[in-house]
A and B are shown apart, each in its own frame.
Chain A
Amino acid sequence: MARLRFVGWLVVVLGLVGGRAARAADAEVETTVETEEKARPWYVPGHAAMQLAGSIGFTSAGPGWSFLEEAVEAEVMLGWAPRAIAGADFVTLTLKGRWNPFRLRYGNWTFRPLSVGGMFSYTFGGDYFLSQPGRYPDGYYWFRTALRPALILGASVGHSARTFDLDRVEAYAELVATDFRLVQFYHNPATVKTGIVSLALGARLRF
């Protein structure tokens, strides 16, 4: 059941991306970013993100939405790690949320020195469970192997890219602290040390 729900979400997300692309193709007159932002309904993605690593796949990509002048952002990422690289195929669907308290501008450059956020990542497949399989007594395991919460600390740098018909292109780096790393660090700081985080690198294209 849980898996069906996620597939449903995925279809909705892909539909929205497709709709956005078609809308852009139809537009004959070039509009300014401001008026387009106002004209754009909230559910139409304002950017797309692509990422390397970060515990949600070798690569992942998906649409994103911005609110409150990009102070609050969300992304839905579909991730994949192929067997050749990760020893087994992993497919994930991740919901990311982020708060960008600062934004610095310098000419065509935009800097966000600090972003804090979180994510929930769902891994598809029979080896993982969202609700504990019936063979276990209630509460046998206190976590869900299919659903992985994580905290994110990030920074990004962007540059306007009007020649590519984009508002801006950004590169970002994130430190991802998954649940098991946080829990192990809490109990075992001396052993875990810097192993509390792994690194993600990515790019965002803002329409």
Chain B
Amino acid sequence: MLALLVAACGVFEFHPYEIRGGEESLNAKALARLPRHDPERPFRFAVIGDIQLFLDDSADAVDDLARRDVDLVVQMGDLTEYGTAQEYEWVARLLEKIPAPTFAIVGNHDLMGKGGLLYQRTFGPTFQSFDYQGSRFVLFDSNSLEYGFSGEVPDVARLREALMSGPARRHTFTFSHVPPGHPDFDPDLTEPVEALQAEAGVTISFHAHTHRYASDVRRGVRYFVADALESRNYLLVTVVGDSVDVERVYY
């Protein structure tokens, strides 16, 4: 009876931006599912780009990832086109099919309407930092334009703390939707963020947003921009000791 009621609730929508039902805290759940720490073991993770209107292409990416031996996956934001509850649900259901723990960061489209609240409910806080296999992963919100270049996005103080604190580690990887230097990234914060990432010895700074693959080195830090998933490829990162290899995997 209860199941029937829940199923019936699914067919009703009170408002496109309703914050009701659906998945919760998926990033925290992914964190709890990370494989056991084993510093001697090489590891691999995948970085997938904008989903937006490319759900069917993304479903193929998910199928491909299911066949691959990866420790974790990070989706780079713009999970949705309109930031609506239904889109969040579609994407959450899609990403759940990846056997490896999967994290998602927030993109500008995901913040539209009440999308920010939907992101927080579905995935969790927009800032997240964790260690895995002796490397640090820092996920943050860099959608400065959505906040009218308030000077607080990205949160440089918090980023500094996450990058500079804690025990020595082999690698540091950062993940944010809009790349520094892009017109939608707070122009006053590009220099501080790039300088901070250099100072902290970030291994790779991952981004998306432009829908177009790019790669360059700034102040000794490698920057990668993942293609949108309509281009049917994602980044596969292999970490063996001090060496970090990034390849584009087409599916």
Q: Is A183 an interface residue (CB 8 A)?
A: yes
> Which residue of the partner chain, among B14, B84, B90, B183, contacts A58 with CB atoms under 8 Å?
B14
A178 to B12, CA, bound (A): 12
* B55, A184: Cβ atoms closer than 8 Å: yes
B residues in contact with A198, CB < 8 Å: 11-13
B residues in contact with A192, CB < 8 Å: 55, 90
B residues in contact with A81, CB < 8 Å: 14-15, 18
* B55, A188: Cβ atoms closer than 8 Å: yes
B residues in contact with A52, CB < 8 Å: 12
* A184, B14: Cβ atoms closer than 8 Å: no
* A183, B81: Cβ atoms closer than 8 Å: yes
* A180, B20: Cβ atoms closer than 8 Å: no
Q: Which of B33-41, B109-117, B189-197 lines the interface with chain A? A: B109-117
Residue of A nearest to B113 (CB): A145
Q: Is A123 an interface residue (CB 8 A)?
A: yes
* B14, A57: Cβ atoms closer than 8 Å: yes
Q: Which residues of chain B (21-64) have a CB below 8 Å from chain A?
A: 53-56, 58-59
Q: Is A112 an interface residue (CB 8 A)?
A: no
* B16, A55: Cβ atoms closer than 8 Å: yes
B residues in contact with A90, CB < 8 Å: 14-15, 17-18
* A188, B54: Cβ atoms closer than 8 Å: yes
Residue of A nearest to B15 (CB): A90
Residue of A nearest to B112 (CB): A145
* B11, A188: Cβ atoms closer than 8 Å: no
Q: Is B236 an interface residue (CB 8 A)?
A: no
A residues in contact with B149, CB < 8 Å: 135
* B20, A181: Cβ atoms closer than 8 Å: no
Q: Is A148 an interface residue (CB 8 A)?
A: yes
* B56, A191: Cβ atoms closer than 8 Å: yes
Interface size class on chain A is 35 or more
Q: Is B145 an interface residue (CB 8 A)?
A: yes
A residues in contact with B16, CB < 8 Å: 55, 148, 178, 180
* B86, A191: Cβ atoms closer than 8 Å: no
Among A123, A143, A191, chain B packs the most CB atoms within 10 A around the CB of A191
* B84, A180: Cβ atoms closer than 8 Å: yes
Q: Is A154 an interface residue (CB 8 A)?
A: no
Nearest Cβ distance between residue B20 and chain A, in whole angstroms?
A: 5
A90 to B117, CA, bound (A): 14
Q: Is B148 an interface residue (CB 8 A)?
A: yes
Residue of A nearest to B183 (CB): A137
* A188, B145: Cβ atoms closer than 8 Å: no
Q: A180-B82, A191-B90 are in contact. Are A88 and B17 (CB under 8 A)?
A: yes
Q: Is B19 an interface residue (CB 8 A)?
A: yes
Q: List 8 A-B contacts (CB under 8 A).
A: A54-B13, A57-B15, A86-B20, A90-B14, A133-B148, A145-B112, A176-B13, A180-B86
Given contact pairs A55-B16, A86-B19, A195-B90, a sample of 13 additional A-B residue pairs in the complex whose CB atoms are under 8 Å apart: A87-B18, A87-B117, A123-B113, A127-B17, A127-B114, A141-B112, A145-B113, A176-B13, A184-B55, A188-B53, A191-B55, A191-B90, A199-B11
- Residues in A lying within 8 Å of B, measured CB to CB: 52-58, 81, 85-88, 90, 92, 123, 127-128, 133, 135-137, 141, 143, 145, 148, 176, 178, 180-181, 183-184, 187-192, 195, 198-200
5 tightest Cβ-Cβ pairs between the two chains A and B: A87-B19, A53-B12, A188-B55, A198-B13, A191-B55
